[in-house]
Amino acid sequence: MASGWAPAFTAVPRTAFLPDLMWPHDASAGRAVAVDKNADPAAWYGYADSDVPIVTQWDDGNHTGTEPGKNFTSSSSMPSVVFSMLADLDVRAGHRVLEIGTGTGWNAGLLAHRVGEENVVSVEVDPAVSEAARAALRRLGYGSLRVITGDGLLGHPPRAPYDRVIATCGLRSGLYPWVEQTAPGGIIVAPWGTYYTYTEATARLVVAEDGRSASGHFTRPVNFMRMRSQRLVRPEHSHYVPAQGTGDAEKSTTTVSEAEFLTGDLGVEAFAVGLQVPDCTHVPDRKQAGRRPVWFYGLTDMSWAVVIFRDGRDTATVYQSGRRRLWDEVEAAFRWWQDQGRPGFHRFGLTVTADRQIPWLDAPANVLETQKTPGEQGFSVVSEGGLEPPRPIKGTSTSS
């Protein structure tokens, strides 16, 4: 194993942090399945040793029984994802590390083995989850590792500055307190994305020498449970679209095809569109009888749009309503991504300052300017010193 993590993975086994009843993802079933260690230890250990995500809590703990709950709210990530993020973190012996999202405690234990338990602080918002993690860490001899129950967005200032910060939950905003608590030259690794899609990418940010910003490329696509304070409550369709259907919405067509537009949960095109179309989320419907609508909802107003793909047709029908023309924004962003040579995740990056999250392509100077409201010029990639700086990408936060 690269980066010298093999001894840690041997000394700190995943099995030591998993509950007797857990819900691993079963590839053949395509969903989470209940596995009880006491009833079927062979299956339990088989899944625990596999490269699969394992749900350890449903519905913020308000769940009983063996059947899966409605929403998974704590888990043990795939070992390959854990390793890749630790490799991005480039942690060294003696580094002071802040972890956001303790979960089972396994990641914190791996860090403690590498840098010393006295150098690790982990913050977990859920009291029951944090207590279970403390107990597991104590059993492995890491009782001095500090597991703080609290809001991870605040970090943990009493132990700052940190050399490394790692988050194990999906973020949409709010990284700057971690920048302030990280030493110049330190590294922050966090899954980051937009409300347009569930697709996230691991941001690897290096804190500037003046400590007032952090910047870096994305490394790979990931999909994490969102930080609880940043969960998106899906818009009620009926609040946007009139009961009689499309009503007085503006009708048009597009030549964008379903095959090129919808390529899967970790598609880079959705990530790229989300970087440029703020305050918008999209919901693809299930295909029925060769017809598939994809809906777009504004998060700061009641604008909405739908594109209706049909098998065997060269064009799709579009309806748009409200102050924004959401499909026009989305299509322009999508076409821009195609024109740029369909850049992958690693070509995009992010700069975080006190009041902005600034996405860019290839280099921090090439800022991705977000879509404008009707009547204004569309987006482009611009260089510093050129056009007026773009609006920050904002997210709609909802309390859990």
Residues acting as catalytic residues: 77
Which one, of 124, 129, 192, 141, lies nearest residue 16 by Cα?
A: 141
Residues 6 or more apart whose CB falls under 8 angstroms from that of 337 comprise 268, 269, 272, 273, 343
Helix axes 106-115, 127-139, angle to 10 degrees: 40
The residue count for the chain: 400
Tokens of 251: 């009708």
DSSP per-residue string spanning 226-277: BPGGGB--PPPHHHHS-TTSSTT-EEEEE---HHHH---TT-HHHHHHHHHS
In this structure, the number of other CB atoms found within 10 A of the CB of residue 305 comes to: 29
Tokens of 253: 């067509």
Tokens of 100: 């956001």
Which one, of 398, 379, 375, 399, lies nearest residue 388 by Cα?
A: 379
At 336, the amino acid letter reads: W
As a whole number of angstroms, the longest Cα–Cα distance in the chain is 66
CA–CA gap between residue 92 and residue 164 (Å, rounded): 9
Residues 6 or more apart whose CB falls under 8 angstroms from that of 353 comprise 176, 212, 213
The answer to whether the beta carbons of residues 107 and 152 sit under 8 Å apart is no
The answer to whether the beta carbons of residues 247 and 289 sit under 8 Å apart is no
CA atoms within 13 A on the CB side of 153: 11
Span between the terminal Cα atoms of the chain, in Å: 38
Which one, of 339, 343, 381, 340, lies nearest residue 360 by Cα?
A: 381
DSSP per-residue string spanning 22-43: EEEEETTTTEE--EETTT-HHH
